[in-house]
Amino acid sequence: MDKAPLEHVKSRSSKFHGTPPRGLDNVPRSVSQAGKFGRIFRNLEALASDSGALAKLAGTMIEKPEDVEDPKAASNNARMSAGFTYLGQFIDHDLTFDPVSKLQSDNDPDALEDFRTPRFDLDSVYGRGRDDSPFLYDGDKFVIGRNDAKEEDLPRSPNGRAIIGDPRNDENLIVSQLQLAFLRYHNAVVDALPAVPTRFDDARELVRFHYQWILVHDFLPKVVGDELVQQILKPNPYPVRTREGIKEAFAWKTDLRFYNFKELPFMPVEFSVAAYRFGHSMVRFNYALNPQTDGEGKELPIFATQGDDLRGFRPRPAKRKIEWFRFFKFEGADPEKLQPARAIDTLLSTGLGVLPDIVASNPNSLAARNLLRGKALGLPSGQDVARAMGIPEEFLVGNSKNKLQIGPAYKLPDGKPDPSVPAIDGALKIELETAFGTATPLWYYILKEAEVFAAGQHLGPVGGRIVAEVFLGILKADPTSYLNVAPRWEPNKGQFGCTQNGHYSIQNLLRFAGVA
């Protein structure tokens, strides 16, 4: 089979659209080698696939162009609203923090050891802290900028580029306003704390703890299911002798079956190049941000040739402030205004089928970029990963008896085929199912698995296990996470956005930040 080196899949912009972090093209297979990237399934052979066939497979994954997406269509996600797509992107940027990636070439073997261990510590917000990134701060607070219309925006340099901890969090109008919300949340926490010398550090720890709580109790359960989270992250009480007798102390433990590391956690390519790219299928073609962009023909596409779209790396245009009740479910808000995420399936929105040249090229299809990236990194097939996980053969999506079916089979509530699903030529379908029906690229397998096992509402057994183990494994390995610093910690009722009954979610963070 022909080889597709990484340099054939180059990008001019963000990792979200397929740019590899430094060191990704030199991934160790040894369990003992510490580094930024590694492999969970080190002994599995790479899937041998033809680049031309992968390009054809990518061509079946793009929806037909539509002016407006139907919020009630069967291919939407009833479990996750549109905001979780971009919360997932924000989390990805935090987990893979690399503030100088834009300044270096893709080929950098030293990056395997020179970069710090991945953590959920909001480095994408705090940068390197006040001492090393003083330009981000005004005393204990973050600097907040304004656009030409005097509306709040990220702080920016004269050329319009955001001055933030991670420049990727300005790559579209949605994630940039989520970044702004976290800046505002930190500032609100500072205001709620006493003015003592440790106020900044106290606020940062509280913000991190609340963010990590959202990951464990809000985001991750929606993506993989509550049951899987509880299977992996477990209470671990133990007895201690006190002056009053034996009492119970408390800790957390993680039951990691596959994501194993000796000392420091690494970033698995099965996660970064396949499983966590499920979010690409959740991206909608267009979005309503507020009343000015609500209504047929008014929604903003993710990309448009005329530039009136959601792309970032520029000051926020006037009248583009997000009303967050359109992206997350808020009590008392109009449910008709809430936009769902797209289903997790083998379809990508038409806007991702042809990325603008300024974003990515050669190829400019996000689906093709993801599939070629998996080939270049030597990922195993989805079926081989499922077998390595011990999943019975009859429950594999695509085996010797029943080949994986290329293309989704969604139908609208009236039973008619969804017109947004691209029709696949019969001969092409046979060709692709012959090539990939029993040995499927891992990313495609994970999307198809979610479609088959969960109707596209959350990840399936392989994708869910990889994402959950990496999230919870990294969080438990972080000595500064709330799981280790304060195992009994939980949001305080009535404080920092937490409700009086103890509920805390991303919506509570946005409200306390004053943006919702």
What are 96-136's pLDDT values in tens digits?
Answer: 754 443 323 333 323 434 355 689 999 999 998 899 999 99
- 150-164, 217-231, 358-372: least confident range: 358-372
Q: 475 pLDDT exceeds 70?
A: yes
Q: What is the pLDDT of residues 300-327, one digit of tens each?
A: 999 887 778 999 999 999 999 999 999 9
Regarding predicted confidence, which is higher, 296 or 442?
442
pLDDT digits over 235-250, tens only? Answer: 999 999 999 999 999 9
Report d(CA 441, CA 153) in Å as an integer. Answer: 40
Which residue type, as a one-letter code, is found at position 243?
Answer: R
Would you say residue 464 has pLDDT above 60? Answer: yes
Residue 264: give its domain's CATH number: 1.10.640
- In the predicted structure, residue 31 carries a pLDDT above the cut 60: no
Sign of the four-CA dihedral 176, 177, 181, 184: positive
Beta carbons of 8 and 364 less than 8 angstroms apart: no
Nearest-angstrom CA–CA distance, 497 and 510: 8
What residue numbers bound the domain in which 97 lies?
6-512
Please report whether residue 1 resides in a domain: no
Mean pLDDT of 397-409: 89
pLDDT at 415: 61
Written as six digits, the tokens of 294 are 């609500």
The better pLDDT of the pair 101, 493 is held by 493
Give CA–CA dist 69/425, Å, rounded.
24
Element (H, E) at 214: helix 199-214
Q: In which band, very low, low, confident or very high, does the pLDDT at 64 lie, cut at 50, 70 and 90? A: confident
| 53 falls within a domain | yes
465, 228 Cβ separation under 8 angstroms: yes
Residue 63 falls inside a structural domain: yes
Quote the CA–CA distance of 500 and 349 in Å, as a whole number: 40
Measuring CA to CA, which residue among 198, 258, 270 is closest to residue 232? 258
Tell me the pTM: 0.90
Examine the pLDDT at 66 and tell me if it is beyond 60. no
Q: How many CB atoms lie within 10 A of CB 317?
A: 16
Q: Which of 89, 92, 514 is nearest to 321 (CA)?
A: 514
Sequential DSSP letters for 61-111: TBPPP-SS--TT-TTEEEEEETHHHHHHHHHHHHHT--TTGGGS-S--TTH
Separation of alpha carbons 292 and 298, rounded Å: 7
**Residue 273: pLDDT band with limits 50, 70, 90:** very high
Span 325-372, pLDDT tens digits: 999 999 999 999 999 999 999 999 998 998 877 676 678 899 999 999
Q: Which residues contact 153 (CB under 8 A, 6 or more apart)?
A: 144, 145, 146, 147, 180, 315, 316
Alpha helices in 265-320 (DSSP H): 269-272
Please state, in angstroms and rounded to a whole number, the distance separating the CA atoms of residues 268 and 41. 9
| Count of domains observed in the chain | 1
Q: Answer yes or no: is pLDDT of 382 > 50.
A: yes
